[in-house]
Amino acid sequence: MVEQVAGALDITYGALADPTRRAILEVLRAGEARVTDVAGRFPMSLNAVSKHIRTLERAGLVRREVRGRDHYLAAEPDALGGARDWIDHYRSFWEDRADALAAHLRDTRDQGSDP
């Protein structure tokens, strides 16, 4: 359970750590938009943008709705934030890193590195 939850935090951190993905969320701040309209704003292939969108979906930050032939994207309300974004990013980031450091120290101590 701990590993699953820690993994989910990492997925969200990874999703938001990319400028293109943050820009996609900014576009969706104004409201839902068609995938093709979102993609048209970026100087990269539709395929490349789609990959970014899938990462945001996996992280639960955007949701997709199919209406007829169009795919619409909307940011999840929790994904749009104010000044607390970086703070919450890094609280989670350092909590995870501290856990990883503790595990690393335990492993190296068990190997006899710390007298």
Partner 1 sequence: MTIEPVRVERLLPVRPETVFDAWTNPESLRQWMSPGSAVVGSVECDPRVGGSFRIVMLDGHGALEHAGRYLELERPRRLVFTWRSPVTGSVDTRVTVEFAGIDAGTLMVITHEGLDEQPTRDAHRGGWASIADKLAEAVTTTG
Chain residues binding partner 1 by CB under 8 A are 1-3, 5-14, 16-19, 29, 51-52, 55, 60-61, 77-105, 108-109, 113-114
Q: How far is the CB of 22 from partner 1 (least distance, A)?
A: 8
**What is the spatial distance between Cα 92 and Cα 98, in angstroms, rounded to a whole number?**
10
- If the CB atoms of residues 70 and 105 are measured against partner 1, the closer one turns out to be 105
Q: How far is the CB of 65 from partner 1 (least distance, A)?
A: 20
- If the CB atoms of residues 70 and 97 are measured against partner 1, the closer one turns out to be 97
Torsion from C-alpha of 18, 24, 28, 32, nearest 10 degrees: -130
- If the CB atoms of residues 37 and 88 are measured against partner 1, the closer one turns out to be 88
**What is the spatial distance between Cα 11 and Cα 16, in angstroms, rounded to a whole number?**
9
Q: How far is the CB of 3 from partner 1 (least distance, A)?
A: 8
Q: How far is CA 70 from the centre of its chain?
A: 24
Contact 73, 30 (CB under 8 A): no
Q: How far is the CB of 90 from partner 1 (least distance, A)?
A: 5
**What is the spatial distance between Cα 56 and Cα 79, in angstroms, rounded to a whole number?**
10
- If the CB atoms of residues 36 and 100 are measured against partner 1, the closer one turns out to be 100
At residue 17, what are phi and psi to the nearest 5 degrees?
-80, 5
